[in-house]
Amino acid sequence: MRWEGRRAVLAAVVLLTLVAGFLLPSVLLAQPKYPIRPITLIVPWAAGGGTDRISRMVAVLLERELGTPVTVVNRTGGGGAVGHTAGATATPDGYTITMVTVEIAMMHWLGLAKVNYKDFRPVALLNFDPAGISVSATAPWKTYRELHEYIRANPGKLKASGTAAGGIWDLARAGWLKAAGFPTDAVRWVPSTGAAPALAELVAGGVDIVTASLPEAAPLIAAGKVRPLAIMADKRDPMFPDVPTLKELGINWSVGAWRGIAVPKFTPTNVVNVLEKALAKVVENPEFKDFMQKNGFGILYKPAKEFAKFMEEQDRLMGQLMKEVGLAK
């Protein structure tokens, strides 16, 4: 009886081991279906600006790919800190995603917020656009050189805007002035919640210069209300072929904004994979390409792992630039 009992126990152990061997992979691979309910896409900037416009197109196409509603919510304030913080601290389940912008690599250097790229799990980079220098169509300066000479003769008289104090377009302004041989207060900065309200102020006469990207000003440029004078890039934008780069004009300065989708740091890998695959299809969608081209937005796609490396490098680079122009705290 004792031997038979041992044999029975041994047989049971073998059976359980075999069953576990078959079931364990299924258990490990089993993941909750995603998505099964609506997704919120947080945009840290004002409605109507470049980030908002790209986000709304992405939301429409992402909704088709995922088969669930994707709603854009603008969470503005604090130079992008409010929206980015809300995105980073959301429940990490994939139902709150964020259109992170270059400011995530800048805010902690400014002391505006503790949130930084390490608080997110990158999904995909979608866009990159260099800064521009735009004035009202009624302004007296027809070329960059005319504006340059006016600033030289009237330091501190003109006002510029485009984003919050210390934001990417403020950095663009400070770096441009420094590279041009001016003090960084030669053109004063007027903070705004994004490019759209800054451009509205430009047209209304509240500010003299906007240093946001040219795509963000494209509708007003097309309407003949805004005049682009230069672009802070290594080469001219094909959408604005008549606008010279600062480097062409002898000023060695280039900087730009980027945008991509990220989720809270502890979001499950299966959720990230679903979003990554869907966004890869969005970027390849002819509607997306047509929208970006018509509006002058540059497409720069990087999948999750490459986007993670990109964000880390941008954080290092922006910190270095901000220290050089005196914006870092």
Contact (CB, 8 A) for 68 and 36: yes
- What's the confidence (pLDDT) of residue 281? 98
Taking 50 as the threshold, does the pLDDT of residue 174 lie above it? yes
Kindly give, in sequence order, each residue whose CB lies less than 8 Å from that of residue 202, ignoring residues fewer than 6 positions away. 134, 135, 136, 161, 208, 209, 210, 226
pLDDT band (50, 70, 90) for residue 16: very low
The predicted model gives 56-68 an average pLDDT of: 98
- What's the confidence (pLDDT) of residue 31? 59
- pTM of the entire structure? 0.78
Taking 90 as the threshold, does the pLDDT of residue 25 lie above it? no
- What's the confidence (pLDDT) of residue 13? 40
- Name residue, tokens 């049971």: 12
Instruction: Give residue-wise pLDDT tens across range 243-263.
Output: 999 999 999 998 999 999 999
- What's the confidence (pLDDT) of residue 322? 86
